[in-house]
Amino acid sequence: MVKQKTIKLFSKIVKLLAPPPELTISEWADENRFLSAESSAERGKWNTDRAPYQRGIMDAITDPKVEEVVVMASAQVGKSEIINNTIGYYVAHDPWPIMLVQPTLDMAEAYSKDRLAPMIRDTPVLRKIIDNDGSRKSNNTLLRKEFPGGHLSLVGANSAASLASRPVRIVLADEVDRFPTSAGNEGDPLTLAQKRTKNFWNRKKLSVSTPTIANSSRIEDEYKDSSQHRWHVSCPCCGYFQPYVWERIKHEAVGMECESCKEVSTEAEWKKRPGEWIAKYPENMKRGFHINALASPWETWDNIINEYKKAKKAGTERYKTWINTTLGEAYEEDKSEHKQEELLNRRFEYKCDVPEGVLLLTAGVDVQDDRLEVEVTGWGLNETSWGINYQVFRGDLTQPAIWNQLDKYLEKQFFNANGEGQSITATCMDSGGHFTDEVYKFCKERKHRRIYAIKGVGREGTAYINSPKKVGRKKDTDLYSIGVNYGKDLIY
């Protein structure tokens, strides 16, 4: 009798300690997931074959060789359901601490109510595991769900405190292009969140977003740093695999021309064909996936074409949105829009150093290997500006002579038509890459003249100027970060 009880006890222990059977996220979803009426156009049992491109993305997350997955995508391709299936898999099948990061705390609460709660309610295996009834006996809240073996925390990228919470194995970041540049004064929220996984050898990081502006889109940067997978489909005529490309869509026929045989096939013919993910850099284990609405089973090409025509007619802002949300691409400004002739016609000559309307002068100093380039700008009302003077000082920047020339120039006065002189009110000097120590020393000794060291920080939403921080060996030089709307991030 004792022996039989012992055998049963050890059997239970073995079941509890045994690793979960091998199962991918798509397999788990096909077996267990149910779609809710509130958050899906197709209520009922989940079927990955409905949008087969989702399979490769989800299964990359559970690939033991892959730590990080990036998804740059349009709207209407099921991005949120990929996140939901990932949450469901790790709650029910392989429980660990999970963090889901939304752009703001308000958006995290909305996600919990509108997407997470219905999924838990309508997916039986999750309903048994997570007490989601909101009763006083429950340990769960809107932003925290507990389950055996782990917990799910929903946080906002705008909250440094929530990002600095306890360690987690899985970090899921949704709509990262809408994240603020900094979480309070703590720095990049995506980096802060992903640091929470450093204690786990089997960590997983998923970043998902629709892109925004070229060269300032975080998800575009992450995708460029990845394997760069694109969804390819087989031509109905010749079988050649190729991605859905807007430039080959035929508006009148509502079809797509094959890149290889040049035959035009209809949307229905293309979407019946087999597809697969093909990587530009397959050796890169940071898996990146790009997909657009042309592949979506919930969007028609006829509707996409009509929306394109409306967007082009409506103007730049609406067209920009169409590029982001339909093609899943970052919008790149058309440089031809800035007509050279129009700019030349706006020129006028002033008969003195400082034209009428200038209220104060500033200077910007660019530091190069063999020279200092200085531009003095005049500023008036409503951010109106005038170019006042441009000066280049050439020489050896390790020697004091060239710095003395700059110092004397920055004390120079510039005169208006009435003979009244104006001095430079403030100067910003780039310390981002050349002769940094020399720049810090020069600025430190002239802080009383408002001569500051700066570094540029680029991304949409960056503040024009951030609080200074101390730099240098003795930490007594103020360094300011200046917001620009182009380029990659240089500092935080």
Distance CA 112, CA 118 (A): 9
Q: Kindly report the pTM of this predicted structure.
A: 0.69
Tokens of 33: 């997931």
Of residues 246, 245, 227, the one with CA closest to residue 289: 227
Q: What is the CA radius of gyration of the chain?
A: 29
pLDDT in tens, the chain (492 residues): 556 777 666 666 655 555 666 899 999 999 999 999 887 778 899 999 999 999 999 999 999 999 999 999 999 999 999 999 999 999 999 999 999 999 999 999 999 999 999 999 999 999 999 975 554 445 789 999 999 999 999 999 998 888 877 899 999 999 999 999 888 777 899 999 999 999 999 999 999 999 999 989 999 999 999 999 999 999 999 999 999 999 999 999 999 999 999 999 999 999 999 999 999 999 999 999 999 999 999 999 999 999 999 999 999 999 999 999 999 999 987 655 556 677 777 777 888 999 999 999 999 999 988 899 999 999 999 889 999 999 999 999 999 999 999 999 999 999 998 999 999 999 999 887 778 889 999 999 999 999 998 877 655 555 556 666 666 554 556 665 555 443 333 322
Give yes or no for a contact between 201 and 65, defined as CB atoms under 8 angstroms apart: no
Q: CA-to-CA distance for 363 and 263, rounded, in angstroms?
A: 59
DSSP strand pairing (469-471 vs 477-484):
antiparallel
CB 447 within 8 A of CB 423: no
